[in-house]
Structure 1
């Protein structure tokens, strides 16, 4: 079983995006500290949420395309524990997607 994270091929991209988001959050703190107009702060909050959603969607796609796909391939190849592993990966992905939709 491959233990490489599904996002491995895009790790650099995710780190770049997350660092940018970190900078945006620091900017939000600065805006509040400087008593910037509420609507301007809310606009930036929306941008941060959108950026995080984009990272989340990418991670879900990578998980489905790597982790879930590998588990399903193992089940199709007759791997003894493959079916249970595939079912667990699908349930895990479904739960993660549900959490994302609720946030």
Structure 2
């Protein structure tokens, strides 16, 4: 299966194999809200004609924060969803999916 097909399959709306706990949801949502606040701060910086380097530094912080959220979601996926799929005998599909997501995520 080609990487594009795998990504298309991944982006179809699916439920988590193992539902996230309330604590897991809260942790991810809090991080995303923090990123949302940083993005709003960036908008204000642009509106207020802040120095370009200040904006770039803040942009870098937002990108870093989003990557951390992504890695935490990926870690949970590896520990739960992938583990269940491998136990069900879908090793090759799981590995292809993970590699496609990592490839997409690292762009």
Shift in Å at residue 32 of structure 1?
A: 0.1
2:87 matched to 1:99?
no
Give the direction of change, closer, same or farther, for the CA distance of 1:37–1:6 in structure 2 (3 Å limit). farther
Which structure has the greater CA radius of gyration? Answer: 1
Deviations for 1:29-79, whole angstroms, at most 9, x for unmatched residues?
0000000000000010000000000001111111111111111122xxxxx
The residue aligned with 2:70 is 56
Give 1 or 2: higher helix fraction: 1
Residue number among 4, 28, 31 corresponding to 1:14 in the alignment: 28
Kindly report structure 1 stretches of 4+ aligned residues shifted beyond 6 Å. Answer: none
TM-score, normalization by structure 2: 0.78
Q: C-alpha distance in 2, partners of 1:6/1:73?
A: 13
Q: C-alpha distance in 2, partners of 1:13/1:26?
A: 20
TM alignment of 1:77-92, pairs within 5 A: 82=89, 85-92=90-97
Give the direction of change, closer, same or farther, for the CA distance of 1:14–1:5 in structure 2 (3 Å limit). farther
Higher-RCO chain (CA-CA 8 Å, sequence separation at least 6): 2
Structure 2: unaligned runs, 5 residues or longer: 1-14
Please say if residues 71 and 86 of structure 1, whose CA atoms lie closer than 8 Å, have aligned partners that are also in contact. Answer: yes
